[in-house]
Amino acid sequence: MKIFIAGLPFEVEEAELRAVFGDFGVVKSLRIIKDRETGKSRGFGFVEMPNDEEAKEAIKNMNGGDYNGSKITVKVAEDKPNDGQNRGFNRGGGSRGGYNR
């Protein structure tokens, strides 16, 4: 099961977070999302746990809790819709420019 975590303190490292989730079971993968330009944490990430029961227990125990002074949100990660149209272009619509005809 893939888990979404939001509200992480910016100084939290992946190894520390892996240990916290490891208290609930096996952690298959973990990733804190970082800013492309600065390399600093954006305050959210994802954990993948192969055992759904262990993952649900982690969510139940950690969601809404205090983590190093920050209230975190922990929930099942939602899959992005993959309709072939979401390529990052023209988000929000608007004019494409060009000539008035």
Q: What is the CATH number of the domain that holds 50?
A: 3.30.70.330
84 occurs within a structural domain:
no
pLDDT in tens, 23-49: 999 999 999 999 999 999 999 999 999
pTM over 0.85: no
90 occurs within a structural domain:
no
**pLDDT value at 16 more than 90:** yes
Helix (H) or strand (E) holding 94: none
Domain count, the chain: 1
Domain hosting 52: range is 2-76
38 occurs within a structural domain:
yes
Closest CA to 4 of 70, 59, 71, 85: 59
93 occurs within a structural domain:
no
